[in-house]
Amino acid sequence: MNTRKPLSELAKTIRSKNAGTDKITFDVIFRERDTYELVKRSKALTPRSVCEILNIDESRLTDFVEYDPAYAIKFTILRLRPSGSAGDADIFGAQQYAPFLDVEVDMTA
């Protein structure tokens, strides 16, 4: 019996977007409290795991919030270069969430 599920099957929304010119923010939002609490207990998303998943130094993570009223986990990273500057491959920051879709969540947590 498989006791793990991808985050994309559990979350209602997984997205990224600009948070000003120098940051990208991520939202992982759940439909119900039970699933949200399970993901929190599983430790699939922590400040350290987020940095590992994005392959970034922890110094680039500026915020990490488990926001209980909205059943959401939100985090923000510093961009390597300002949005829209030369070499920026994602001006809106809207394509950065993909690595989180396949994050495995332990359903027994």
Per-residue pLDDT tens for 18-36? Answer: 999 999 999 999 999 999 9
**Residue 2 confidence (pLDDT):** 77
Nearest 10 degrees: Cα torsion 37, 43, 44, 48:
140
Q: Find the domain containing 69 and state its range.
A: 4-81
With respect to residue 28, please indicate whether it lies within any of the assigned structural domains: yes
Instruction: Indicate the number of domains in the chain.
Output: 1
pLDDT band at 89 (very low <50, low <70, confident <90, very high): confident
With respect to residue 70, please indicate whether it lies within any of the assigned structural domains: yes
Q: What percent of the chain has pLDDT over 90?
A: 93
Q: Amino acid letter at 27?
A: D
With respect to residue 63, please indicate whether it lies within any of the assigned structural domains: yes
- Rounded mean pLDDT, 4-22: 97
With respect to residue 90, please indicate whether it lies within any of the assigned structural domains: no
pTM here is: 0.94
With respect to residue 73, please indicate whether it lies within any of the assigned structural domains: yes
With respect to residue 101, please indicate whether it lies within any of the assigned structural domains: no
Residue-level length of the chain: 109
With respect to residue 67, please indicate whether it lies within any of the assigned structural domains: yes
**Residue 1 confidence (pLDDT):** 65
The CATH number of residue 41's host domain is 3.30.70
**Residue 109 confidence (pLDDT):** 87
